[in-house]
Structure 1
Amino acid sequence: MRMNEPFDDPRAAQDTVRRYERMLAHDEAVFFDLEEFEVIIDHYVTSAAFDKAQQACEAALSQYPFSTELLIDRAQIAAMRGDYAEAERQIANVASLDPDNADVAVTRGIIATQRGSFEEAVRYFQAALEHNPDREDIHFNLGLAYQSWQKYKSAARHYKHSLRLHPDNETTVQELLNCLEVTSRLPEHEEFFQRFTDDDPYSAVAWYNLGQYYYRLEKYEQAVAAFDYAIVIEADFYDAHHWLADTYVCQQQYQRAITEFELSYPPNEPTDEALCNIGECYEKLRDWEQARLYYRKALEVNPNMDEAWFGQGVLLQEQERPFEALHFFRKAVQLYAESGEYWAALGAAENQVGNVVSALEAYEKATEVAPEDATGWVSWSAILYEQGNYEEAVELLQHAVELHPHEAHFHYMLCAYLLAAGRLREAYLELETALTLNYDQHSLLFDYFPELEKQPALQRLIEQFRK
């Protein structure tokens, strides 16, 4: 296996993986030829399912114990799992058997990349490239090393070279787009992606990649057209249907998105992701019953899908049923505790039912896992304000203002907190900032805190900023 190398027939590859998984599920004897095992291992590596990749690799080695390719696979998987000493030991054994194998240098480069030794990794990959200039996987891994090293322009150069050699690798497309986005160079690469469709107008993958490019630029009309072309060429291009659906979601065309999500998986083989996405579309359409039905279908496929648990909680919150929502939000944070959004939603529900202590704990957790998101800070501060803990409320909201200094809303709230704390000078400075940023939003101050309308000094200051 060459890391991230796509196989010629993706559909055949999926069928091979499914057949392998069915045999495992039924505890049947597993036998595949060497190339099929390479397909299976590559699938799991690309999906970052390294334990499954190792299991498949060991099964393959039991049938083909002298395969250099499989021994290299095993070393690379060990590196991906973070077992660098074992990876080094295994690749050293391969080097003693086949010292001229270019994959020895590639694997050592992968180990160095995973270990964070990016300069060393680049040296290994460049050495391998000297004798194999047209191997797209070496260019890909060079790109990955440079990207991890935060040398995005060099990374993009090698990703582009990799795509020119083999344009069907979706992972390469995504990483290239990431690098171009980070360096604000997306707009200038339209010609690069269009060239693939010009060279081969009947390539579904070329149109799909162009759609991905337009999607990143938020040029949704062009993205829809590109994904449509891909689907016209290849009707059961499931990923193209998925991204077309996502594009419709961005355009708030939820009914169209539902249709495409329903086409984003093989017949009678729905994925938990597609079902959950359909549920979310129905939620946006405020069709609560259909939304709940699809969230439950997603959980039938994958009982541990945190997004579906969270989605059901959101449905109940939208219907003003916070007591029932609590169960689903608690399950969501239990399954995925690193989501600030989940913790903030749990905090809101806890607060609504009067569990103030639990609400404060949830908001505190939200700020721990997502300190860059102002939602947790704002909501946490609001509860403290309501309890009369003005100084603590001020301190927390100052975090929100630091994160979003141009958000007038937060400055208005901070002004109110400072007034309550008796810090008048600071309060008026915050109000001036808020009025400068967005005068029209000053009504929020009185929506949240009606008693402030009785303060003439505040009214005079607001009048001074009236245009």
Structure 2
Amino acid sequence: MNMSHDEEDNSLSLSKFESMLKTNKVFFFDSEEFEDIILHYMDTGRMNLAKRALKLGLEQHPKSTGLKLVQVEMLVYEDKLEHAEKLLNELYAIEPTNEEIYIQRANICSKRDQHDKAIENLFLALKYTEDEADVYSMIGMEYLFMDNLELAKENFIKCLELDEEDYSALYNVVYCFDFLDQNEEAIKYLDKFIDKNPYSEVAWHQLGRQYYALKNYEKAVWAFDYACLIDEGFLGAFLEKAKSLEKLGNYQGAIDCYTITMELDDPTSFALLRIGKCYERLGNNEEALNFYLKTVHEDPLLDKAWIALTDFYLRQKNYQKALYYANKALGIDNENALYWRRYATINQFLNFFEEAEVGYRKAFELGNDELDNFLCWSDVLYLLGETEAAIEILNKGSETHVKETEIYYRLVGLHMTLSETDIALHFLQIALSYEPQKNYILKDLFPYVWDNELIQRTINNNNL
């Protein structure tokens, strides 16, 4: 990789400076070299070295405004805002047209959550700066802090008009469009941007993301394709292209794309899991299982992978293995209602009714109020001989699932079991008024109630 002249000079300055620290000899650097050295150490988080360089720099160049502004930046970084402000006022008296003074004032205001004032200072900086793009980007960030997404977007766009290679500004523009749910507008903007910058892989990638959000997966694949062609090592673009191909049902194409991501970087559990799902959709259970097992090996704490194995064995009707993997998933996330539902269902298949009841109850406590959860839960309670508890659960279910005959037919059977004939007939009338054709529920779940003469008479009278 070839270095630019600036990078080469900076690297030589750093080597010279570090050699000076080791030997205790004092070398001379011009003030700009010191600035670069200090900023390098600040950017890499080595504040002690940055402070040493600043001290030596000010000793050699006590009147350097540039070094004093770097000192201000360091003070702001360390939250010594009053000291920084005092120093800025002194510098302002000497150089009132130095844009960096206004930028640092803006940084201080921003740290104090005075974003309006920060913006005022940045607009003053615009008058004096040669790098307007950077300042527009900073103004955009301040508007972001204020949750003013429209003005943030406007300023990031101005930044990009001046510097089309400022990818962080491009990401921020798209973030604003996303946040404002303006996917169509984002597409129009990115189309124009790509017209001017056809080889911007980031813009193509962002365009693909917008199409994906609009569920236009064909267009998404088309855009991601360009991003991948421009940058053959663009991991994110290959991943998103694979996800889009999956949505289109092109599972082999998706597998090929996910495989490329694993060649570009270490295999991620996400890619391994998705490959497993694609193989399962293709009916290749052997490869699907192989990749699910690779996923849990790669990331044993990924609950989604354990659930993928659970569902795989559920579909195979291998309930013992499904239960083993469901327990693994619950060991990682026992606050997930859907995992408890699976746990309950598997235990019910295995005739472990007490465990199944715990699963349905947990699912309900964690927010699962689907009809099916109430029905299965009450069925299990009935099988455990807890008829009154089963009725209670169905009554609770009927509060959110009004006119659901599956609840009422069950209530008929349960009340008849308790010899509460009048209540049972009341619920039977309700069920028959809604969906008489579903009376088979009674026959399937409560055959002895179905054979009851009174019940049969009521059903036959309804059919007349």
Amino acid at match of 1:359: A
How is 1:432-443 mapped onto 2 (pairs within 5 angstroms)?
none
TM-score (norm 1): 0.63
Q: CA deviation at 1:412?
A: 4.0
- On the 8 A contact 2:313/2:319 being kept in 1, the answer is yes
| 2:309 counterpart (304, 312, 315) | 312
Alpha-carbon distance change, 137 to 355 in structure 1, aligned in 2, over 3 angstroms: farther
Structure 2 distance, partners of 1:122, 1:459, is: 76
How many residues are matched? 367
The match for 1:180 is 180
Deviation at residue 71 of structure 1 after TM alignment: 7.0
What is the match of residue 391 of structure 2? 391
Counterpart residue type for residue 217 of structure 1: L
Q: Deviations over 1:11-56 (max 9, x none)?
A: xxxxxxxxxxxxxxxxxxxxxx8778888xxxxxxxxxxxxxxxx8
Residue identity (%): 22
Of 215, 223, 226, the residue aligned with 2:212 is 215
- 1:103 aligned partner: 107
* Greater relative contact order (Cα < 8 A, sep 6+): 1
**How far apart are the structure 1 equivalents of 2:83 and 2:375?**
57
Q: How many Å apart are 1:243 and its aligned residue?
A: 0.9
**Which one is further off, 317-326 or 130-139?**
130-139
- Is 1:162–2:134 an aligned residue pair? no
Letter in structure 2 aligned against 1:257: A
Unaligned runs of 5+ in 1: 1-32, 40-55, 76-88, 110-120, 147-153
Question: In the alignment, is the contact (CA less than 8 A) between 1:340 and 1:376 conserved in 2?
Answer: no
Aligned residues of 2:412 and 2:424 also touching (Cα < 8 A) = yes
Supply the distance in 1 between the matched residues of 2:350 and 2:369 (Cα, whole angstroms): 27
Q: Secondary structure at the match of 1:264?
A: helix
Structure 1 contact 347–359 (Cα < 8 Å) conserved:
yes
* Partner Cα separation in structure 1 for residue 243 and residue 279 of structure 2: 14
Asked if the contact 1:204/1:234 (under 8 Å) is kept, the reply is yes
Could you tell me how far apart the structure 2 residues matched to 1:92 and 1:341 are?
Answer: 53
Could you tell me how far apart the structure 2 residues matched to 1:218 and 1:320 are? Answer: 34
Q: How much has 1:175 moved relative to structure 2?
A: 4.2
- Residue type of the alignment partner of 2:307: F
Q: Report the AA paired with residue 168 of structure 1.
A: Y
Q: Deviation of residue 460 (structure 1)?
A: 8.5
Q: 1:64 aligns with which of 47, 50, 62?
A: 50
Q: Which amino acid aligns with 2:397?
A: L
RMSD: 4.3
Question: Which deviates more from structure 2 when the two are superposed, residues 265-274 or residues 157-166?
Answer: 157-166
Shift in CA distance, 382/303, structure 1 to aligned 2, threshold 3 Å: same
Do residues 414 (structure 1) and 375 (structure 2) align?
A: no
Q: 1:64 to 1:390 in 2, by over 3 A?
A: same
Unaligned runs of 5+ in 2: 1-36, 55-69, 90-100, 127-134, 161-165, 416-422
Q: Distance in 2 between matches of 1:312 and 1:140?
A: 44
Q: Deviations over 1:309-358 (max 9, x none)?
A: 22222222222222222232222222233433222222222333333333
Whether contact under 8 Å (1:72, 1:104) holds in the other structure is yes
Go from structure 1 to structure 2 and tell me whether the alpha carbon gap of 1:390 and 1:326 turns closer, same or farther (over 3 Å shift).
closer
Contact 1:453 / 1:459 at 8 angstroms: preserved in 2? no
1:6-405 superposed matches below 5 A = 57=45, 60-65=46-51, 101=104, 102-109=106-113, 123=116, 126=119, 130-131=123-124, 134-136=135-137, 138-140=139-141, 142-143=143-144, 145-146=146-147, 154-155=148-149, 157-159=151-153, 161-162=155-156, 165=159, 168-169=167-168, 172=172, 175-176=175-176, 178-181=178-181, 185-187=182-184, 189-267=186-264, 269-371=266-368, 376-377=373-374, 379-384=376-381, 386-387=383-384, 388=387, 389-398=389-398, 401=401
CA shift, 1:277, in A, is 1.7
